[in-house]
A and B are shown apart, each in its own frame.
Chain A
Amino acid sequence: MRSRKVLSAMMAGVGLAGLMLMAPVTGAAAQEGKVGGTLKLLANAAAGTIDPHINYTLQYFQINYILYDGLVTFRKTGDKTGFEVVADLAESLPKPEDGGKKYVFTLRKGIKFADGSDLTTADVVASFQRMFKISGPTTGTLYNGIVGADKCLKTPATCTLEGGVVADEAASTVTFNLVAPDPDFLQKISIPHAAILPAEAPLKDSGTVPIPGTGPYMIASYDPNSLLKMVRNPHFKEWSKEAQPAGYPDEIDYGFGLTDEAAVTAVENGQADWMFDPPPADRLAELGTKYAKQVSVHPLTAMWYAPMNTNLAPFNDIRVRQAVNYAIDRAAIVKLFGGSNLAQPSCQILPPNFPSYAPYCPFSANPGEKWSAPDLEKAKALIAASGTAGQEVTIITEDTEVSKSIGVYLQDVLNGLGYKTSVKPISQNIQFTYIQNTNNKVQISISQWFQDYPAPSDFLQVLFSCASFTPGSDASVNISGFCDKSIDQKMAEAQTGMIADPAKGAQLWTAVDKAVTDAAPVAVLFTPKRVDLISPRLKNFVFSPQFYWIMSQSWVE
């Protein structure tokens, strides 16, 4: 998933030992933590529609995890087990059948939506049909392996997923049939885009009108210009602490409109409890010293990178792409992000602490496991061999401070290699789609990728497979337009290997990571960390590697 816009913010939760007690009927967490009160959150701006099948932003993924449930979800804990999939609306995790092409889920009984209606198997089928009918943003990449998905993608309005999602109301089961085995299927349906909604949910983007969910909270009101108010779901009863624990606060208010600077001051002063946006760079030193107790820093499974268009000059020459990788001073770029305590230089696609990750950096003065320094001589030799010096290059960045700063630095690097480079900052709202569309002839850009689900395919297959490249489309996340049939074949083998022999499959993914890194369709810059600033009154800040802050598990004093 994509940086700030598309992250897989998820939550996890587990509270403390105190969460061992069952929640009362109200759905409140009745442990030693303080139940009640209002949690006050801040964000620079709202993140658009609150339709869980459409919104693809970290900002709302984070709240959708406490508003909605899927058949399965990631364990809501603050440790590495937060990457594990657990049963949510399903009674248990199904075992793959038919060689990994069939999954049968049995629904839990007695679960109600926030409007009081019962959850049924018909809701599950209707929800998956709805994803396609409203052309959900991940239907073509994450859910296209379901039988019948190809027809749904061609004609969304008449989508039935016939044979793909089959309900048995009497047995309270839903069966998923896949075109081919997919070892990541359960993870893919654990994100909010696979949330189960009432069958009556509108077959269009619900916009600012909330759709009832099954989570411990529901949206009471939403005004994108000022406030999103969440209150307790009166029909919620905790059925699985690891999947969807009850929450502590009675109300969660998400305010919009303050600048980052003002938000920092508000949280420092206790006028708000948390801010979504990263603290501005010139406040970091202050936060790290004066307010260090209110700051939480966590590594992310993500990357900042510079996609290079492999179909446009000069980056259609692998020597040029490798030269850029050799020339970049990643330590300098890390400074632009806030320093080595907030980011780590990286050369490879998979981030540290991620499945199949093995340290690898060929583009360094001392090639090996870690990046050490740029190798400008080698970079210039590659450019000279390519004969492309003197060409014009345009870097497309977001209009945010960090993105622009990195763009200006990269401009310096490319000018040093002999190109005539310009930088064009574009509004953050449109830059991501702009750089994906081949019609815009973007040569090189600055972007970010945050995991949707913890599997190598989310980085390697989603970003670099031939199938992810759709010329002329705003939704072509293979921004580089990279398509190497042999690497595609290796990816397919790795996916198959994950089913037959997970250890071998993981090794194959490691090899794919190296192969893609060597081909250099992108210049990976660094692995970022997240800085969370919380108020003094906020307690029990639980950070999941998958969901980030699990807001329902914190309380206010």
Chain B
Amino acid sequence: MSDQAQSDPRRSDAQSSAAVAFPADLKFIPIMDNTSGGQALVRSRRGAEGPWRTAWRKLKADRAAIMAFGVLVLITAACLAAPLYARHVARTDPFATNLNGEIVINGETRQVLEPSTEGLGLGFTPLGPTWDFGPYMLGADNQGRDVAARLLYGGRNSLLIAGAAAAICLGLATLLGVVSGFFGGLVDTLLSRILDVLWAFPIFLLAISLSIVLITQSITIGPIEIRSGSLWLPIFIIGIVYVPYVARPIRGHVLSLMQAEFVTAAIGIGASPWRILLYDILPNVITRVIVFVPLILALNMMTESSLSFLSIGVQPPDASWGTIIQDGQGLLYSRPIVALAPGMAIVICVLALNILGDGVRDALDPKSSIRVA
């Protein structure tokens, strides 16, 4: 890594930028210097990268992270195109049963659910993958539905739930962590104990318990009513259960920031607490929250799949990768692709999110920046 950095001109820029950004260097620069050296230094200072630009440059340099990001973009784009695929390629409604359906493959008419005609003639086997970019490319499930189309639609829900739950989780966790760490005292004690209680529950036990209680009935939070079967139920449940895992580290980070010199200085010059919170604490917290984003997305995706697999997440006729795995569980022996396809999609997404998460952490973590420099 260090060898590459030495041979890479951008790395040299980074090093020089980091050096320029160091306050100890800046205090020796004459502001009105007209010498050539002084002009160079001023140019250097004007071109100095902000922390976001530096992070973005480091992230771009991380090929694995960029590849992971690319994979995620591709998968997301494919999932967003699900209606187009269903209408123009699969030419089927992936949510409607098609038990009596037929399809022509290589001039031969075949039933979507093919009866066993040998021996005792027991059972039906769904159509297998055709591997052609057309109807039933990945075969049919036990309702005669196009697996590939459902995979894309399922991906939309899986990604939506993971994303929305991550937003809820990170929003709540940031609010609780910052308030708890910044105000301290009774507020901190109260919020910390609440988080401790939540933390005491194993994640899946808590998620399953909430799901079983809530999934069959509507819940009302003030003016908001979430109806049973709504996607917002798994979003809400998954968003809640990971809050302590993010809020606690953020609280700790805020506590350490409160001891930082620039905060002490702000206090010293009489800055109001709200100004310190908004201009000194939050900007430093945001970077850490961003590091959490891909990691929480990956966790949410796995949790959603697990809950849906247990029939307490996404409810039919909606699909997610978890529900499709469950649909395929009964076909593992004869049509394993039904379960394997969404399983692979989850593996790829979670792997990509973790690699991207590592890249984002390396890019935004100040300690990482010092190490690279």
Chain A positions within 8 Å of B, measured between CB atoms, are 261, 280-290, 292, 295, 297, 329, 331-332, 335-336, 338-339, 341-342, 394, 399, 401, 404-405, 407-409, 411-412, 422-426, 531
Nearest Cβ in chain B — how far from A495, in angstroms? Answer: 39
Chain B positions within 8 Å of A, measured between CB atoms, are 96-97, 99-100, 113, 115-116, 118-125, 142-143, 215-216, 228-229, 311, 315-317, 329-335
State whether B97 touches A408 (Cβ < 8 A). yes
* A-B complex: 4 closest residue pairs judged by Cβ atoms: A284-B123, A288-B122, A289-B119, A288-B120
Nearest Cβ in chain A — how far from B215, in angstroms? Answer: 8
Closest to A289 in B: B119
Nearest Cβ in chain A — how far from B299, in angstroms? Answer: 25
Output the residue of A295, A407, A408 with the most chain B CB within 10 A. A408
Known A-B contacts A280-B330, A282-B330; A424 and B122 likewise in contact (beta carbons under 8 Å): no
Other-chain residue from A280, A288, A342, A394 in contact with B118 (beta carbon distance below 8 A) = A288
Chain B residues near A286: list those with CB within 8 A: 333-334
What are 15 of the A-B contact pairs (CB < 8 Å)? Answer: A261-B333, A285-B125, A288-B118, A292-B119, A295-B120, A297-B120, A329-B99, A401-B330, A404-B311, A404-B316, A422-B228, A423-B317, A424-B229, A425-B311, A425-B316
State whether A424 touches B315 (Cβ < 8 A). yes
Other-chain residue from A288, A331, A401 in contact with B116 (beta carbon distance below 8 A) = A288
Chain A residues near B215: list those with CB within 8 A: 424
A295→B122 CA distance, assembly (Å) = 10
Known A-B contacts A424-B228, A424-B315; A341 and B113 likewise in contact (beta carbons under 8 Å): no
A295→B124 CA distance, assembly (Å) = 17
State whether A408 touches B317 (Cβ < 8 A). yes
State whether B333 touches A280 (Cβ < 8 A). yes
A285→B115 CA distance, assembly (Å) = 9
A424→B216 CA distance, assembly (Å) = 7
Nearest Cβ in chain A — how far from B21, in angstroms? Answer: 57
State whether A338 touches B315 (Cβ < 8 A). no
State whether B100 touches A282 (Cβ < 8 A). no
A286→B119 CA distance, assembly (Å) = 9
Nearest Cβ in chain A — how far from B27, in angstroms? Answer: 67
Beyond the given pairs A292-B119, A412-B96, 9 more chain A to chain B contacts, judged by CB atoms under 8 angstroms and listed by A's residue number, are A282-B125, A282-B335, A285-B123, A286-B333, A288-B116, A289-B118, A290-B119, A297-B120, A339-B122
A331→B143 CA distance, assembly (Å) = 13
State whether B99 touches A336 (Cβ < 8 A). yes
Closest to A295 in B: B120
A119→B120 CA distance, assembly (Å) = 47
Known A-B contacts A287-B122, A424-B229; A282 and B334 likewise in contact (beta carbons under 8 Å): yes
Other-chain residue from A290, A331, A339, A394 in contact with B123 (beta carbon distance below 8 A) = A339
Known A-B contacts A261-B333, A282-B333; A335 and B116 likewise in contact (beta carbons under 8 Å): no
State whether B120 touches A332 (Cβ < 8 A). no
State whether A408 touches B316 (Cβ < 8 A). yes
Chain A residues near B116: list those with CB within 8 A: 284-285, 288-289, 339
A295→B215 CA distance, assembly (Å) = 40
Output the residue of B113, B123, B216, B330 with the most chain A CB within 10 A. B123
Chain A residues near B124: list those with CB within 8 A: 281, 335, 338-339
Closest to B142 in A: A405
Closest to B216 in A: A424
State whether A341 touches B229 (Cβ < 8 A). no
Known A-B contacts A285-B116, A411-B316; A261 and B332 likewise in contact (beta carbons under 8 Å): yes
Other-chain residue from A297, A409, A425 in contact with B143 (beta carbon distance below 8 A) = A409
Known A-B contacts A339-B121, A339-B122, A401-B330; A423 and B113 likewise in contact (beta carbons under 8 Å): no
Other-chain residue from A297, A335, A394, A422 in contact with B99 (beta carbon distance below 8 A) = A335
Chain B residues near A426: list those with CB within 8 A: 216
A338→B211 CA distance, assembly (Å) = 32
Closest to A411 in B: B317
Chain A residues near B121: list those with CB within 8 A: 288, 339, 341
Nearest Cβ in chain A — how far from B123, in angstroms? Answer: 3
Closest to B95 in A: A412
State whether A338 touches B317 (Cβ < 8 A). no
Closest to B229 in A: A422
A261→B332 CA distance, assembly (Å) = 9
State whether B100 touches A332 (Cβ < 8 A). yes
Chain B residues near A329: list those with CB within 8 A: 99-100
Chain A residues near B316: list those with CB within 8 A: 404, 407-408, 411, 422-423, 425
Other-chain residue from B100, B122, B311 in contact with A285 (beta carbon distance below 8 A) = B122
A272→B123 CA distance, assembly (Å) = 23
Nearest Cβ in chain B — how far from A496, in angstroms? Answer: 44
Closest to A285 in B: B116
State whether B229 touches A288 (Cβ < 8 A). no
Chain A residues near B100: list those with CB within 8 A: 329, 331-332
Nearest Cβ in chain B — how far from A515, in angstroms? Answer: 31
Nearest Cβ in chain A — how far from B93, in angstroms? Answer: 10
Chain B residues near A405: list those with CB within 8 A: 142-143
A292→B116 CA distance, assembly (Å) = 13
Chain B residues near A289: list those with CB within 8 A: 116, 118-120
A332→B115 CA distance, assembly (Å) = 12
Nearest Cβ in chain A — how far from B358, in angstroms? Answer: 37
Chain B residues near A281: list those with CB within 8 A: 123-124, 142, 330-331
Closest to A408 in B: B316
Closest to B100 in A: A332
Nearest Cβ in chain B — how far from A532, in angstroms? Answer: 12
Output the residue of A282, A290, A341, A342 with the most chain B CB within 10 A. A282
